[in-house]
Amino acid sequence: MKNESDHEIEHRVDRLEREVERLRKQFEGRQADAASAAAAETDASDAPADPLWFVNTLGRYAPGVVMMAGAVEVPVGPVRWQYGLHADDLLARDWSELARPIEALGHPVRLELVRRILNGTQTTAELLELDQFASSGQLYHHLRQLVSAGWLTSPRRGHYEVPVSRIVPLLVLTMIAAS
């Protein structure tokens, strides 16, 4: 009859075996990728040949990872950005802490403010010219919500910008909402 300690050891060995197998597959995938890259270089224009090229590449390099990435040109300049987390870590996380940043974008006026700022409108004077605001108080209320949630920064008084680290996530969120 097995005791609790034996079950714990079996459980740990099982987890280690799964992890070794995952790493072996990842290593083999990288070797195959290196060989195919040496045989022929591929650029983004070749991507449509495989409609799941990004997912397939991600699966070879980082199985189990959920990722967002982008290479975009915005008024502040080019942005190349990527971020990923293991799905297990995301599922184990307390999602209630995510409510505030998501909630901050949950108002049509705030979404429009972020879009305008991302497109180059940066001063409160320019933003007040938009039809959505009856007063500067309303504008500042929405801007405070976006700044406190991290979607905007104010590098100097009366000027706002989207932090570079938030540009691709904002575009991903809009892509998700549009799909």
pLDDT tops 80 at residue 140: yes
The mean pLDDT of 28-56, rounded to a whole number, is 62
pLDDT tops 80 at residue 54: yes
Tokens 């190349």 found at: 80
CA–CA distance, 43 with 93 (Å, rounded to integer): 36
Q: Would you state the structure tokens that stand for residue 104, as one six-digit string?
A: 């901050």
* % of the chain with per-residue pLDDT over 90: 53
CA–CA distance, 81 with 74 (Å, rounded to integer): 13
* Helical axes 53-61 vs 4-39, angle rounded to 10°: 130
Helix (H, G, I), strand (E, B) or coil at 86: strand
CA–CA distance, 172 with 174 (Å, rounded to integer): 5
Q: Residue 45: what pLDDT?
A: 55
- 8 vs 137, residue with greater confidence: 137
Q: Residue 1: what pLDDT?
A: 57
Cβ atoms of 139 and 128 within 8 Å: the answer is yes
Task: Name 99's Cβ contacts closer than 8 Å, sequence gap at least 6.
Answer: none
Task: Report the relative pairing of strands 65-74 and 77-86 from DSSP bridges.
Answer: antiparallel
The overall average pLDDT reported for the chain is 83
Q: Would you state the structure tokens that stand for residue 38, as one six-digit string?
A: 């040496």
Cβ atoms of 129 and 112 within 8 Å: the answer is no
Task: Identify residue 46 by its one-letter amino acid code.
Answer: D
Strand partners, 72: 79
